A and B are shown apart, each in its own frame.
Chain A
């Protein structure tokens, strides 16, 4: 009987230890979406929120998608007089500090889909593979929408940010 109790206590202890050791979670990718786009548009963009719950800083190194000829990581910039431009991210990666959420959004960072091989229509699901330096590869799915926001259930959508 005693032996059983000791075993149970040890097991509980071990489980607690494991929980402590596994404090860090995973790379979380949420709200992956892209805008509707006709074939006349050669390129498209995907947006998402990446939360690095792991114990270490990480980097998004690259992405790929069968729907795109080439995929690059890009950022927008604004110059004087409302002039906007786009370029590949400096150093070729997106930094993902541990414990932080990095948002890829309209007018900011995006996963650029170059030489789209298909039309993007509302409701399409586009599979994308993300490659992180530490967290390895991850499969995510972009939902094709008109806007960053999920369509709301109420009648007129309410106030949305234009973006």
Chain B
């Protein structure tokens, strides 16, 4: 038995190495194909497939949103800076759920505030609705006040699309930055 101990130890180390990384974000039971789309940035049309060599973080929001959207984008910006060189392999894209008020230029100015590499996309109501549906993203207008105009309820998740064009991981609202960073490092290492 004593002689077997080193073998057990080796096996244990081996299985520990094989262990799946721990993900803090929400995982889908099986990977979903990330549907390609083409929407409008301030610099022209942008497709998801333009970034097939990167991990894409996809977020749906709107610039009128004063609380959860800036909080999420600010967190993502800080995670990008914390990732250092790895950040070059990640592309953050925000798609507006408010194409009526969010012009491509306004979106560009907005997202650049959080990180100069972030891309903001708009489109027609129909284009946005189609992309949102493909990702199971819900959004709905409701009455605001005279000052705010209409407000929009929307899915507050960040979708993580890996370099094989699939998503199986997402970041819920309020997830800690250190956890997002760890998840992204694992996604980058896995592929």
- The residue in B71, B138, B139, B179 that gathers the most chain A C-beta atoms within 10 A of its C-beta is B71
Contact with B along A132-163 (1 / 0, CB 8 A): 00000000000000110000000000011111
Given contacts A38-B112, A146-B78, list 20 more A-B pairs with CB under 8 A.
A35-B74, A37-B113, A38-B109, A40-B106, A72-B145, A74-B67, A82-B173, A83-B155, A84-B68, A85-B153, A86-B67, A87-B144, A87-B151, A146-B74, A147-B74, A159-B176, A159-B178, A161-B176, A162-B174, A162-B180
Q: Which residues of A contact B70 (CB under 8 A)?
A: 35, 37, 41, 44-45
Interchain CA distance A76-B173 in the complex, whole Å: 12
User: Is A106 interfacial (CB 8 A cutoff)?
Assistant: yes
Contact with A along B116-158 (1 / 0, CB 8 A): 0000000000000000000000110010110110011111110
Interchain CA distance A107-B180 in the complex, whole Å: 18
Partner of A39 from B108, B109, B152 at Cβ < 8 Å: B109
Q: Would you call B67 and A106 a contact (CB within 8 A)?
A: yes
Closest residue on chain B to residue A70 by CB atoms: B147
User: Is A69 interfacial (CB 8 A cutoff)?
Assistant: yes
Interchain CA distance A40-B65 in the complex, whole Å: 11
**Interfacial residues of chain A within 71-127, with CB under 8 A of chain B in the complex:** 72, 74, 76, 78-79, 81-88, 106-107, 110, 112-115
Partner of A41 from B113, B139, B157, B176 at Cβ < 8 Å: B113
Q: Would you call A69 and B176 a contact (CB within 8 A)?
A: no
Q: Closest CB-CB distance, A125 to chain B, in whole Å? A: 19
Contact A110-B67, Cβ < 8 Å, known A37-B113, A85-B151, A85-B153: yes
Contact A84-B153, Cβ < 8 Å, known A41-B63, A162-B174, A162-B177: yes
The size of the chain A interface, using a CB distance under 8 A, is 40
Q: Would you call A107 and B153 a contact (CB within 8 A)?
A: no
User: Is A42 interfacial (CB 8 A cutoff)?
Assistant: yes
Q: Which residues of A contact B180 (CB under 8 A)?
A: 162
Secondary structure class of chain A's binding surface, majority of residues: strand
The size of the chain B interface, using a CB distance under 8 A, is 41
**Interfacial residues of chain B within 12-53, with CB under 8 A of chain A in the complex:** none
User: Is B64 interfacial (CB 8 A cutoff)?
Assistant: yes
Q: Would you call A36 and B74 a contact (CB within 8 A)?
A: yes
Q: Would you call B66 and A40 a contact (CB within 8 A)?
A: no
Interchain CA distance A162-B5 in the complex, whole Å: 44
Q: Which residues of A contact B155 (CB under 8 A)?
A: 81-84
Interchain CA distance A83-B141 in the complex, whole Å: 12
Q: Would you call A84 and B178 a contact (CB within 8 A)?
A: no
Q: Would you call B110 and A45 a contact (CB within 8 A)?
A: no
User: Is A53 interfacial (CB 8 A cutoff)?
Assistant: no
Sort A-B residue pairs by CB-CB distance and give the 8 closest, nearest first.
A85-B153, A40-B109, A38-B113, A70-B147, A40-B110, A43-B66, A45-B66, A84-B156
Q: Closest CB-CB distance, A41 to chain B, in whole Å? A: 5
Q: Which residues of A contact B68 (CB under 8 A)?
A: 76, 84, 86, 106-107
Interchain CA distance A110-B180 in the complex, whole Å: 25
Closest residue on chain B to residue A69 by CB atoms: B147
Q: Which residues of A contact B63 (CB under 8 A)?
A: 40-42
